Structure 1
Amino acid sequence: MKPAPFDLVRAETLTEALDTLAQAGEDGRVLAGGQSFVPMLNMRLARPGVLIDIMGLAELRAADLVKGALRIGAGVRQVELARRPDLADRLPLLAAAIPYVGHVQTRSRGTVCGSLAHADPSAELPLVLIALGGEIHLRTKKARRTVAARDFFLGMMATAMQPGEMLEAASFPLRRPGEGFGFREVARRHGDYAVVAVAAVAGPEGVRLAVGGVSDVPALRDLPDPESGDLEDALNDFAWSLDAREDLHATPRYRRELVRRLGREAIEEAVRCRS
């Protein structure tokens, strides 16, 4: 199948990209790596009138340390992030999750922010951003705004982005003293979208767990420390509170069982790694 007709604009400046997006309104879409969006075009699940290619914009290719976070521009490819020598030290949860994002071939083209904008509920990068309490930076021709990750993802492939806005960058908070992290995932094959994925953060103030692949958006909850003896019941309550999906890959009950098992493993790892 081939895409429906559209106009392609290869933006030479960020101003041109934002101007074109403002003019296009609801008909405009931004193209970065295209690893998720191009298949949607080919299946005609997406029918933009104007597609704006931003991958030639150098100002969107930076990943900088800003105010205790790694701010990743919209043009940064996943492979570039994975190759950062300081990633495991500064963002160990992101370093643990990124090998599960697609395959080597897709990571070489796909962008970090493209995965966030796509908002698949089984994707690893939105899950990590929510677990860390990260932020999304949105921009239009006239204004900028920042949205907390927990408020950005509204449903399956639905976000708080408005017509005329583009996702300019995302901020992943850096590891703080006393924090530990754990990540677990079950998929049919390595590189497939997760049936269930969990990301745990254990800090001096407590433990929180983010769960992806179960509901239409990643879910986040504060949970007891394993030493308290209350974790098992809390995980069970969390699992049953989720509106678990049923599809070809898993039943709701199986997904809830994975939340309990993987959640405990990830939390125990996070607690062990606290420093």
Structure 2
Amino acid sequence: MVVKQMTDETSTMVDTSTLYIVPTPIGNLGDITQRALSILEHVGIIAAEDTRHTGRLLLHFGITTRLVSLHDHNEQYKANILIEKLISGQTIALVSDAGTPLISDPGYHLVSRCHQAGVKVVPLPGACAVITALSASGLPSDRFSFEGFLPTKSKGRRNKFTEIAQNPRTMIFYESPNRLLDALDDMLAVLGGERVVVLARELTKIFETIRGGPLSEIIDWIDEDTNRIRGEMVLLVAGHRAKKNDLPLEATNAVVLLVKELPLKKAAAIAAKLFCVKKNVLYRWGLNNLHQ
């Protein structure tokens, strides 16, 4: 059964027993697509991270579709209920507070359960802070890795930065304004002040700011005016550029893993044998880069 018949390539067909993944604007309401609006208007239910937030979006566009909550604390329970509705023939749209659902937002359990139950899942393209920031960062975009939110504790952050220190890809993180300066200080301690980073703030909004440069310069720039870290943040880190005497990434990654169970000297010796590097060089790398 088709709720709305497709008449041309720009029309929207809404099928029964289908979950639609619908991106919403990350700031500027003009960024929502016509297809997204049509889906939100014609599905039976919208599952929203915050019904109050999404309710304001729907009110702006004159959409009256029923809202139900689906967030981190109720998703596994609510997923069962929504799956039953989908199997019975209802159509549901999944939205988050901003951007594309599931990108550091709820929805994974629901989508996974849909596939297990044989329920059709239809993704819509649209706003995503990760891709928006990357496209304007000036950093290489042919290979990148989205790492989500950084750990909340300094030790966890430093371990994460050590883990990615020799990764050649552009690395992308979300970070809270309240923790950003501490995160940059930890990054400075591990990656050094010359590593190029880009801070993308309040994307698509009035105070949108995209600032890049060596890490030490970015920290100084923020210290001049702490208002520069207010709002939603995306932090991009340039990938490692290999030098002639650099240790292979596989060897240092092995040390990071082995040192969780072994003394550093033993971990370095094992990794050195596995990857044919000098154990003393690997041991010194561990002393300088691992914070145990």
TM-score, normalization by structure 1: 0.31
Larger helix proportion, structure 1 or 2? 2
